[in-house]
């Protein structure tokens, strides 16, 4: 669980296997960021759009989707997964999605956290920086 963040923009990135359900992802997100501030974005790989829409709807968040090619070039990820790289062609879906949704000034405030068949990470734009 995190403390209250003094940031204007937050984004939660998640990655998951095909065996994950929306409740797995929601539990992990709520463990990483509770409460979820209003205006927070959720982001993931475009091929996870179906589950992303369910999670975003249940948490009342705006969903942003990225192709693997866009995530592969994101700077600032801290956790590299050979499994993610072999499956998606990007070394970290959760961290890259969170960072990509906020742009190049974003930084991670919660590195990749693992849950049941899923991962999540949280990125921010510090106060005064706009995407």
The domain of 111 spans: 7-126
Is position 2 within any domain? no
Q: Where are the alpha helices (DSSP H) in the chain?
A: 22-32, 49-59, 68-72, 82-88, 93-100
Supply the pTM of this predicted model.
Answer: 0.88
> What's the number of domains the chain is made of?
1
Radius of gyration of the chain (CA): 13
40-98: per-residue pLDDT in tens?
999 999 999 999 999 999 999 999 999 999 999 899 999 877 777 677 778 799 999 99
Place of tokens 């956290």: 113
The pairing of strands 118-126 and 41-45 is unpaired
Q: Alpha-carbon distance 125 to 129, whole Å?
A: 6
Angle at 30 between CA 121 and CA 1, to 5 degrees: 80
Is position 1 within any domain? no
104-114: per-residue pLDDT in tens?
999 999 999 99
Place of tokens 């990007």: 90
Is position 35 within any domain? yes
Is position 54 within any domain? yes
Q: Pick from 94, 92, 100: which is nearest to 131 by CA?
A: 100
Residue-averaged pLDDT of the chain: 89
Those residues with Cβ within 8 angstroms of residue 131's Cβ, 6 or more apart along the chain or in another chain: 9, 101, 102, 103, 105, 106, 125
Is position 131 within any domain? no
What are the structure tokens assigned to 11, written together? 């984004």
Q: What is the CATH number of the domain that holds 111?
A: 3.30.420.180
């Amino acid at each position: 669980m995190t403390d209250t963040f003094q940031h204007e923009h937050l984004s939660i990135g998640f990655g998951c296997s095909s065996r994950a359900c929306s409740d797995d992802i929601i539990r992990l997100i709520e463990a990483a960021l509770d409460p979820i501030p209003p205006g927070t974005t959720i982001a993931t790989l475009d091929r996870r759009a179906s589950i992303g829409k369910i999670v975003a709807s249940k948490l009342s968040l705006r969903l942003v989707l990225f192709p693997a090619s866009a995530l592969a070039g994101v700077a600032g990820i801290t956790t590299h997964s050979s499994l993610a790289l072999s499956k998606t062609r990007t070394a970290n879906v959760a961290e890259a999605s969170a960072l990509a949704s906020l742009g190049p000034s974003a930084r991670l405030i919660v590195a990749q956290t693992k849950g049941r068949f899923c991962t999540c990470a949280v990125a921010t734009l510090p106060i005064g920086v706009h995407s």
